Structure 1
Amino acid sequence: MNESRDPTLHQRILSEIEGRIVSGEWAPGHRIPFEVDLAAQYACSRMTVNKVLTQLAKAGLIQRRRKSGSFVREPQAQSAILEIHDIKAEVQSLKLAYSYSLVKRTIRKARAEDGLRLDLPPASPVLEVVCIHNAGARPFCLEERLISLATVPEAIDADFTAIAPGPWLLGRVPWSTAEHKIQAVPAGTDATAALDIPKHTACLIVERRTWDSAGPVTHVRFTYPGDRHALVARFTPASQ
């Protein structure tokens, strides 16, 4: 049978090579047989083999090196990247009026628990900010934030009564690394009062830390009533 008319030949070669990689039979770093050898093994053209290897490379399973051959790649994780978003824009996208209120602004020294949140040594100067974001007449989100004054000293002069700390920081500090943590928890006492919800209401908590070249910038914890918020992350495979 003409191999160009046999769609199962390509799939059989692909499946067999992929199976050896996924099963661990061919470990990371293992050299894939050369195209000419695979073509002889499967009694097909080198073009067919080349298409299979190209597909495996796009899938991130092998790495093709010019003049050296093809090798099994180390496994690579695929992750969703959450955008650092503007809550005001988020509320307005729901066709609701946005408002914001500052609840607390305190300059103090970092405590032991702050060191875990912001990766700072004890007694480092921090600015603690608590605020409420509203959507229409209802609380939308409770924001609890720490800002490192060692990294962002200009924050000491920002009162955050007219602008939330998130957009203020985004406009002034070119962060280089961000970390997100997402969890569902029952509302505690502070969230119950701030968000005007019954105690133990299911809430979505999004925690984020950012750094720049000078060190930790901020840690923020956003608490949303679970029935009023959802997270969507769009991502593509690294090969695309």
Structure 2
Amino acid sequence: MAEPLHEQLRRALEGRIHAGDLAPGARLPTEKELCEQYGVSRPTAQRALNDLAKAGLAVRHRRHGSFVADSVRRFNLLNFVVPETAGKGVPGRHEVVSARVVRAADAVHPLPGAEPDAAVIELVRRKLDLLERVQSVEKHVVQFAAAPDLLDQELEELVTLGHLRARGVEVDTVRLYLDPVVLDERDARLLDSTPGTPTLLRRRELRVPDGTVIEVVKTLVRPGTAEFFVELPGSAV
């Protein structure tokens, strides 16, 4: 299947950014200019620029235009709890470190409420950017009964929240925690960082209507590579 035009355009702009053709702070082409340069429609140009902004590569200002973000990526935390946006994330690819079925007691981290002998799926991945630099390490622990076929999926592309909902699992609440931590030797090695460095741990819990936690994913961010924020429309505050 051919890649949608807005994704082709987004990738073309990403390539110019990472090649240094568009430096941090540089003004990106306007929607009109992109239409003329690439022969695309206005909605296609708009979506490509919006996707760059969601990925932390651009900053858009009404009436002033779009600009290349600096080297520290910025992410709206709300995107991590919405399936429609969770799959976009940072441009780049996942690298699977390990994937297995284990006892809950032996998993990389606890699944609240799970019996020690209950079967869980443990998936550890690294997220790499377009220049193959490590951005984060994700550690998923998923209730095996909720997604017994999870390890049969394309794990490099898998979005667990979307997969569970596609299977008909009724996710009632998504809870997000942020914790400051210090890297141990193993995590520092996975992140190409230094042991003892402070960083941010993002922990997400998925719960079904009866309160059971069916997944916990802990994401360690490589120090100095990202800032996180929550942005709400004015009508919501």
* TM-score normalised according to structure 2 size: 0.56
Corresponding residue of 1:145 = 140
- Equivalent residue letter for 2:173: T
Contact 1:100 1:164 in 2 (8 A): no
Corresponding residue of 2:214 = 217
- Equivalent residue letter for 1:160: L
Deviation by residue 1:157-202 (Cα, 9 ceiling, x = unmatched): 4362453545534544441112221111121122211110111222
Corresponding residue of 2:121 = 127
Q: State the secondary structure of the residue aligned to 1:82.
A: helix
- Equivalent residue letter for 1:211: R
Alpha-carbon distance between aligned partners in 2 of 1:132 and 1:146, rounded to the nearest angstrom: 15
Q: Is 2:220 the counterpart of 1:226?
A: no
Q: Is there any run of 5+ residues in structure 2 with no aligned partner, and where?
A: 1-75
Aligned residues: 156
Contact 1:185 1:203 in 2 (8 A): yes
Q: Is 2:193 the counterpart of 1:194?
A: no
Q: State the secondary structure of the residue aligned to 2:125.
A: strand
Corresponding residue of 1:177 = 173
Q: Is 2:207 the counterpart of 1:208?
A: no
Range that drifts further, 133-142 or 146-155: 146-155
Contact 1:175 1:211 in 2 (8 A): yes
Deviation by residue 1:136-175 (Cα, 9 ceiling, x = unmatched): 2210110011010123333254362453545534544441
Deviation by residue 1:52-104 (Cα, 9 ceiling, x = unmatched): xxxxxxxxxxxxxxxxxxxxxxxxxxxx9834265662323xxxxx0111110
Root mean square deviation, CA, Å:
3.1
Aligned CA distance change for structure 1 residues 222 and 81 (closer, same or farther; 3 Å): closer
Q: Is there any run of 5+ residues in structure 1 with no aligned partner, and where?
A: 1-79, 93-97
Range that drifts further, 188-197 or 107-116: 107-116
Q: State the secondary structure of the residue aligned to 2:100.
A: strand
Alpha-carbon distance between aligned partners in 1 of 2:165 and 2:133, rounded to the nearest angstrom: 26
Alpha-carbon distance between aligned partners in 2 of 1:164 and 1:102, rounded to the nearest angstrom: 13
Q: Indicate the percent of aligned positions where both proteins have the same amino acid.
A: 15
Give the superposition deviation at 1:222: 0.3
Q: Is 2:101 the counterpart of 1:107?
A: yes
Alpha-carbon distance between aligned partners in 2 of 1:221 and 1:120, rounded to the nearest angstrom: 17
Contact 1:151 1:216 in 2 (8 A): no
Aligned CA distance change for structure 1 residues 88 and 192 (closer, same or farther; 3 Å): farther
Alpha-carbon distance between aligned partners in 2 of 1:226 and 1:141, rounded to the nearest angstrom: 9
* TM-score normalised according to structure 1 size: 0.55
Give the superposition deviation at 1:232: 1.0
Alpha-carbon distance between aligned partners in 1 of 2:220 and 2:201, rounded to the nearest angstrom: 5
Corresponding residue of 2:111 = 117
Give the superposition deviation at 1:230: 1.4
